[in-house]
Structure 1
Amino acid sequence: MVPGDDLKSTVAAVFEKMGVPPEDAQLGADVLVLADLRGVDSHGVSNMLRSYVNGYTSGQINPNPQMRVVRETPSTASLDSDRGLGIITTPKAMDMAIRKAAEVGIGMVTLGNARHLGMASYHAMKALEHDMIGVCMTSCPPSVVPTFGAEPRLGTNPIAIAVPSRNEPPFVFDAATSTVAGNKVGIARRLGVKLEPGWLADSEGTPIMEEADAPDNYTLLTLGSTRELGSHKGYGLSCMVDILAGVLTGFGYGAVPGRPNFGHYVAAYNVAGFDDPDHFKDQMDEWLRMMKTTRPAPGEERVLVAGQPEAEMEEIRRVEGIPLHEEVVDWFHDTCGELGIDCPF
């Protein structure tokens, strides 16, 4: 177990060695470590940091991007991310959306020419402290076949929504529109466990509906896996993300121009534009408790709401630390040694 503060300081030091300014390095480290603290290991340090290091060293990611506003209105903006890493540029875009929402009730910002943004809910949750509802979407390079398709045309294209409450943990929904986030295939491969039925398609696009080993190269299915189980719904949601977070940026979408390009969309809705924030948060508490006190089905322990497992895991890991696989620790030791960084774990 590694303390979150130790992991964050080490990650920030790695980013600085990549040429990232110190303040941005701290921001990027915070995004990654919060994912680990909340149990979203697929988008935390273990899975993503080495990919980002490779992106910096190859020149695919710009360590010091000069973001610029392409178009702007009182409630909207379109930004050129200048190949900046999304875990650093997207929080800044959300800050802009929040400022706009404070002035006119809603703020929506798109980012083109962008790179991976990590855990989408990090950016959506930035709105919570302002009594706002936050939304984040990202149009990703293709790894998912459309319903009835034999070729990847869509990314995992996640959607995150964060809603403030008073005493209950906030509602935080964050999910890929594919059956599973691609990074979870990598985790399964690292741990040597089988993949669940309905996660992957074969080379012809046919859903694999039995357990399978995690391959090096894979194609994912949209949420629902098959038409009979509702894959057309996941397909439609994924298309919506591709349009709002990709086409709308003016810089392309997941499949065009393709990796390493990403497009991002963030929005903030000011609750005060619709209801008294205190009244809204009290009602959200009531709604959340209603859901959580639903009588569980036979064999089930309890009913959960989005964000609850992550909030519970964060409480535990802030005390006990973050578990890192032995292979990840070895990578840290090797990388820190090469970069001249002290590794405290």
Structure 2
Amino acid sequence: MSTSERLVPLPEVKRFIVDCLMKVGANRGPALEMAELLAAADYRGHYSHGMNRVDRYVNDIQKKIVEPNATPVILQETEATALVDGRNALGATVGNFCMKVAMEKAHKSGVGWVVARGSNHYGIAGWYAMQAMEKGLMGLSFSNASPSMTPTRAKDAAMGANPLAVAAPAKDGDAFVLDMATTAVAVGKVEVQKRKGESIPEGWALDFQGKNTTDPDEALRAGKMLPVGGLETTSGYKGYGLSMAVELFCGILGGALFGPNIGQWFTNTTEANLGQCFIAIDPECFAPGFGGRLSELMNYLRNMEPINPSKPVLVPGDPERIHMKLVDEEGGIRYHENQIKAWMVLAKTLGVNPINVM
């Protein structure tokens, strides 16, 4: 661990988030849902979507952009599908509600497909897909987002980072967990680099002139993230296409805002009305032995000869498992000192107990 990093125990991370959200008006239930989500993101190593975002959720509640204690409702449904109105509740509240409905339908019909409108930023997409996986189901989750991706050949942003997640159970507790943005990286990773006072790699974002930038401040001001693949010459149109596919399942299918119509989370003063999609599939409805075949494939890939012996071949979900093991061994999550300082300021501003570091 570098001298610029400090450890915070996982329970303390959750405590601090709950205190902050309750201080500005959230009831304990929805505050805890958000805390578990954000703490899980950092525990898994997705720092862009964890404590880094606490101030954003606080701001949304304070400005009454979000209804923190609202309860989502089902507008219409069939045996296998449902359309949900999130009623502008916190993203975790909407997401947890929808995936629960999807899982119930999957257990009865083999598949549950739930689309929500009227939602808010819901953190890591994998949080919801893994809920299904832990029940022996395949889980998928998608969300649209504020315009931050510059479509291939375009000068300005028009699509969101539009994350997607797929989680599936294998044998003996093993699992496949893909959790990714359709931009080269999530905007939150640029925010983390800014907090650390460090540059970003080329290929993440463009400046106002449409050129690659390594300055996180310039990248955030311009708001022009590159899609997965980067520029057209390196197949960035594939990430752009994935972003549009996610939008089909979310804003378009759910009747929420979509594409360039979504307001910027940083500066928005009205309801976000995001669209999200949650799918649960029972693998037992298909060929028997799903988990065994998945394990066989993953273990084959892991045992392939690597180019660099010190960097073995991994499958989606392995980096997160490695990070969680490290957190467990060290007894806390590593945070950069600049992030700790920002939370100390937030604690003072809100009048809550500051976060305790090890």
TM-score, length of structure 2 as denominator length? 0.90
Q: Distance in 2 between matches of 1:341 and 1:66?
A: 26
Q: Distance in 1 between matches of 2:97 and 2:233?
A: 41
Q: What's the CA shift string for 1:118-142, capped at 9, x where partnerless? A: 0110111001121111001111110
Deviation at 1:143, TM superposition (A): 1.0
Match of 2:27 among 21, 28, 38: 21
Unaligned runs of 5+ in 2: 1-6, 265-271
Deviation at 1:335, TM superposition (A): 3.2
Match of 1:285 among 284, 289, 295: 295
Deviation at 1:328, TM superposition (A): 2.9
Q: Distance in 1 between matches of 2:203 and 2:96?
A: 33
Report the AA paired with residue 293 of structure 1.
N
Percent of aligned pairs with the same amino acid: 30
Unaligned runs of 5+ in 1: none
| Aligned counterpart, 2:267 | none
Tell me: CA distance 1:129–1:168, structure 2 relative to 1, closer, same or farther (3 Å).
closer
Match of 2:276 among 237, 253, 264: 264
Deviation at 1:257, TM superposition (A): 4.0
Report the AA paired with residue 242 of structure 1.
E
Q: Distance in 2 between matches of 1:96 and 1:274?
A: 21
Q: What's the CA shift string for 1:57-82, capped at 9, x where partnerless? A: 01111111132222211111111111
Q: What's the CA shift string for 1:107-160, capped at 9, x where partnerless? A: 111111111010110111001121111001111110111110112110001111
User: What SS class does the counterpart of residue 129 from structure 2 fall into?
Assistant: helix
Q: Distance in 1 between matches of 2:118 and 2:260?
A: 13
Number of aligned residues: 340
- Asked whether the 8 Å contact 2:133–2:139 carries over to 1, the reply is yes
TM-score, length of structure 1 as denominator length? 0.93
| Aligned counterpart, 1:273 | 285
Match of 2:8 among 2, 6, 24: 2
- 1:85-124 matches, within 5 Å, as 85-124=90-129
Q: Distance in 2 between matches of 1:212 and 1:23?
A: 39
Q: Distance in 2 between matches of 1:185 and 1:289?
A: 33
Deviation at 1:332, TM superposition (A): 3.0
User: What SS class does the counterpart of residue 134 from structure 2 fall into?
Assistant: helix
109-118 vs 186-195, which moves further: 186-195
2:354 aligned with 1:335:
no
Tell me: CA distance 1:127–1:10, structure 2 relative to 1, closer, same or farther (3 Å).
same
2:255 aligned with 1:246:
no
Report the AA paired with residue 221 of structure 2.
N
Report the AA paired with residue 326 of structure 2.
I
User: What SS class does the counterpart of residue 242 from structure 1 fall into?
Assistant: helix
State the Cα RMSD in Å: 1.8
- 1:167-178 matches, within 5 Å, as 167=172, 169-178=174-183
Q: Distance in 1 between matches of 2:118 and 2:349?
A: 30
Q: Distance in 2 between matches of 1:249 and 1:115?
A: 14
Q: Distance in 1 between matches of 2:350 and 2:262?
A: 33
- Asked whether the 8 Å contact 2:191–2:216 carries over to 1, the reply is no
- Asked whether the 8 Å contact 2:184–2:228 carries over to 1, the reply is yes
